[in-house]
Chain A
Amino acid sequence: MTRPLPDQSLGVEWTILELLARGIVDDLERQMVRDLLLADTLNWGELLEQALRHKMLPMLAHQIISAGLRFDVPMSIYMHLESVLEWNRCQIEVFRRETVRVAQGLAERGIQFVVTKGMTFESTLYESLGTRHMNDIDFMVTPKDREAVLSVMQELGFRPFFEWAKDARREEISSRLNRDHLPKLAREIDQPGTRIINVDVANSLTWTKSPFDVPVEEALEEPVEQPVPGTPGGSVPCFRPIYQFLFTVLHLFREAWLQKFVDFGSDVSLMKFGDVIRLLDRNRNELTDGGLLRTTEAHSVTHAVAWVLRQLDETFHTHTLQLLALEKHGDERLLGSQMQSSGYVRTSGQSMRERLQSKDRGSARPVAPGHSALLG
C-alpha cells in the first residue's frame, strides 16, 4: 500500500497518533515520529489526552521508550507512560491465559467459535509488543450455540454482568433483547492490577435487524489456528483473513454510521482505523485475489465496506478502495437507503479525520432526514 506521510494540518500531536495508528514500517516514518516528539511546538497535554481518547497510550509509551527518549520527555510523563505500558502488558498476559482457558472450555463441549478483535490483533498486527489496548476478550459463536456457550461460561466462573453500565437495568434489558450478543460476561479474579475479566460473545458479524449480514456459520468455517504468546502450546481459532477483515470493517461501519454509538460514547477511534490498515498490510495477497470482493457482493455489504474504506482513504491518504477494486462503491445515498431504519451520524460537512480529532463528538449531529434516530 502506498504510504504517503500524513500532512500536519491538524497539529503535531495528531500527526504522531496517525503515524502510530497505522504502524511504523520504515526508518523515514520512525524518524518523523521522533522529530515530532522532539518538536518545540509539541503540546504534551494535547498528545496525552488524544492518545487516551483513542486508546493509544500504551502505543505512544512504547514508541517513546523504544526511541530512547527518556531524557527528552518530561520525567513525570515518561514515568507515567512506563507504568501504562507495563500495566497494559500485564493485562494482556492475564487476557491471554484466560482466552486459552475459555477456548479450551468451548472446544471441550464441541462448540464452534473463533476469538476476535483485540486478542487476535495483539499478537499479529501489533507484534505482541503489549501495545494494543483491550477492554475485554471477544469471541464469535453461532446463534444455535448461545445457550451452550452461556452454560460453559458459567461453569468457568463467569456471570452476566451489567453493573459496568451507567444504567444497569437498561443494560440488562437491552442485553436480553439483543440477539446478536450474549449478555456481557465477567469473572472476578485475584490478580494485581486486574480485578475483573470481561468477555463479550457475539453471534453475528453485524447487528440485530441489520439490513445486511454475513452468515456467521459461513465465517466460522475453516478457522485459522493462531498461537497465543506466553502460553506454551496454547493456540486459538481465529477468522480467515477475508472474514477477519469483513468483521473488522463492518464493526467499524456500525460504530461510525449509527448515532447510538456516538450517544453511548463509543464512537469510532483512530485505533480501529489503524486495525484496518494493518490487516490490509498483513494480508494483502489474500484480500486482493478477488475472494473478498465476491464475498462482499454475495452478502450485499459492498457499499458499507467501501464507505469505511473511503473514510479511511480520506483520513490516512491511503488507496485501499483502489487496492480492493471498490472505487465505484460506497455511495452514501445508496447506503442511506439501504440503512433506512437506522440512525445515521451526519457530521455537517465534517470529514472523518476532523470527527476523529474532535473532542465534542456528541453534539451537532442531526440525524439524516427520513432516518429513525434509533437502532433497529
Chain B
Amino acid sequence: MDNITTRFEQCLRRHLRLVKPDSVDYAVELVQLGLDLMTAVAILLDMEKTFDIRFPGDMLVEGTFRTAGRLKGAVQLLRERQAS
C-alpha cells in the first residue's frame, strides 16, 4: 500500500464512521457512508492539509467526492500537477 493510500484512508475514517476499519470500498457512494454537506467540507479541508494541495473552484463540485475512488483520483491529480 503506498503512502497516499494509507493517509487517504485515514483521512476518510476521521470523518466517516461507516468506513470499514480494514478496507475501503472505492466504488460505493460516500453518501451511503454518512457523507453530508458539512462532512464533505471537513473531508476536503483535511485532504488539503494532509496532502498540501488546494482544490480549485472547478473541482469543488459533488462529482469530485461522489466515491472514494473519485476523490482519491482528484487528490492524485492535484499532487501530480503540483509536482510538475
* A: interface residue count bin: 10 to 19
Cα–Cα distance between A260 and B42 once the two chains are bound (Å): 14
CB-CB under 8 A for A375 and B60, given A169-B45, A173-B45, A177-B41 = no
- The prevalent SS among residues of B at the interface is helix
Residues on the B chain within 8 Å of A178, using CB: 37
Residue B39 lies at the interface, judged by CB distance under 8 Å to chain A: yes
Contacts A173-B55, A177-B61 given; 4 further ones with Cβ under 8 A? A174-B37, A177-B40, A177-B60, A209-B37
Could you write out 5 A-B pairs with CB less than 8 Å apart?
A170-B41, A177-B61, A374-B37, A375-B37, A376-B37
A residues 48-79 touching B (CB-CB < 8 Å) = none
Residue A208 lies at the interface, judged by CB distance under 8 Å to chain B: yes
Closest A residue to B57 by CB, please name it.
A176
- Give chain B nearest CB distance to A168 CB in angstroms: 11
Check if B38 sits within 8 Å of A374, measured CB to CB: yes
Mask, A202-227, CB within 8 Å of B = 1, is 00000011000000000000000000
Closest A residue to B40 by CB, please name it.
A177
Q: Which of B34, B38, B48, B60 contacts A176 (CB 8 A)?
A: B60
Residues on the B chain within 8 Å of A208, using CB: 37
- Give chain B nearest CB distance to A38 CB in angstroms: 48
Cα–Cα distance between A208 and B34 once the two chains are bound (Å): 16
- Give chain A nearest CB distance to B40 CB in angstroms: 6
Check if B60 sits within 8 Å of A209, measured CB to CB: no
Mask, A241-276, CB within 8 Å of B = 1, is 000000000000000000010000000000000000
Closest B residue to A183 by CB, please name it.
B57
Residues on the B chain within 8 Å of A375, using CB: 36-38
Residues on the A chain within 8 Å of B45, using CB: 169-170, 173
